Amino acid sequence: MDLKTFQTQWVPVIQDAMAQKLQQDVETPALQEAMIYAVMAGGKRLRPLLTLAVLDTYHQSVADYVLPASAVELMHTYSLIHDDLPAMDNDVERRGKPTTHIQFGEDLAILAGDAMQPLAFQWLADADNLSDEQKNNLTRALSRAVGPNGMVGGQVLDMQATGAEQIDLSLATQVHEKKTGALIRYALVAGGMMAKVDALDLQSLDTFGAAYGLAFQIKDDLDDLAQDGQADKQSYPAILGVKDAKNALSQAVQEANLALVALKERNQIDISLLKSFLKYFETTLEK
């Protein structure tokens, strides 16, 4: 199975599961409406798809893990709501729709984002097919991914970089590793934890996630440059130049691929689905 087929099969399932669960779990109508609006406002569902793809690779029943795999999407959505606020990026539109604070007001948008954080952990805790040890490990991993040394810390560094006169590669890498990469790494490792793989495989999945997250950010930066005609000062093309940014993207894809090869050699498993996620970068590398 490749990514396109996997997306076609599982994105609608993820969508329906999240919408139904939000209706069940959120009692206050106004809050429920704002949360559903934000979560269902589009997106590739990349992070839960990565978790489910790992489970599929290890021959687990993907359908049994849709909700705990989608907990990361709640965290991702909360971060988008808060990033869009006037105190942060002050965006009025996301994915062609009004941002949550434009649609519902800043107060309700903040509270919707706040509510998604504990609800994500609740979805992990409520998963009947996960052991207490798995739930503890997943909760710890997700906490680290979104906490002060993960996504939130990356947002702080991003704010500081925005106000800086000059950005070097070290700072840009820290921002993107924490802000973008941490949740992607979690998504891969979470799939391994749910599949009960060993420590070596978890390390390979984490390595794949780190490389994939870096590649994802570099591609995003290159695509923004191609669309807008100018690069943000903390983007990889602005710091490295387009040619070296593409070289860095190519290297990250190679590192991700090597991590998958290590998984295949150690377990004699089919890595074609996870490897198909790397095709996302082909068009950028070919330009």
Domain boundaries, the chain: 3-196+269-275
pTM value is 0.96
Residues 6+ apart with CB under 8 A from 21: 67, 123
Is pLDDT of 230 > 80? Answer: no
How far apart are alpha carbons 103 and 92 in whole angstroms? Answer: 9
**What pLDDT sits at residue 231?**
72
pLDDT of 37-79, one tens digit each?
Answer: 999 998 899 999 999 999 999 999 999 999 999 999 999 999 9
Strands (E) across the chain are located at 93-94, 97-98
Domain at 3-196+269-275, CATH from 1.10.3720.10, 1.25.40.10, 1.20.120.430, 1.10.600.10: 1.10.600.10
Residues 6+ apart with CB under 8 A from 5: none
- What is the 8-class DSSP label of residue 229? S
How far apart are alpha carbons 78 and 210 in whole angstroms? Answer: 22
> Helix 66-84 vs helix 3-25: angle between axes, to the nearest 10 degrees?
80
**What tokens were used for 29?**
């109508």
pLDDT of 107-120, one tens digit each?
Answer: 999 999 999 999 99
Backbone angles phi, psi at 163, to 5 degrees: -90, -5
Give mean pLDDT, residues 158-170. Answer: 84
How far apart are alpha carbons 287 and 139 in whole angstroms? Answer: 41
Sort 265 into a burial class: Cβ within 10 Å, 0-12 / 13-18 / 19+.
exposed
pLDDT of 184-228, one tens digit each?
Answer: 999 999 999 999 999 999 999 999 999 999 999 999 999 989 887
How far apart are alpha carbons 256 and 278 in whole angstroms? Answer: 8
**What pLDDT sits at residue 285?**
87
Sort 162 into a burial class: Cβ within 10 Å, 0-12 / 13-18 / 19+.
middle
The CA-atom distances, in angstroms, between 33 and each of 19, 63, 159, 196, 206 are 10, 26, 30, 36, 35
Which of 159, 170, 154, 172 has its CA nearest to residue 235? 172
What kind and span of H or E run contains 94?
Answer: strand 93-94
284 confidence band (pLDDT: 50, 70, 90)? confident
Report the mean per-residue pLDDT for the chain.
95
Report the amino acid identity of residue 271: I
How far apart are alpha carbons 59 and 63 in whole angstroms? Answer: 12
- The C-alpha angle 151, 157, 158, rounded to 5 degrees, equals 85
How far apart are alpha carbons 62 and 85 in whole angstroms? Answer: 35
Dihedral of CA 67/73/77/78: which sign? positive
Give mean pLDDT, residues 12-28. Answer: 97
CB 231 within 8 A of CB 238: yes
Is pLDDT of 273 > 90? Answer: yes
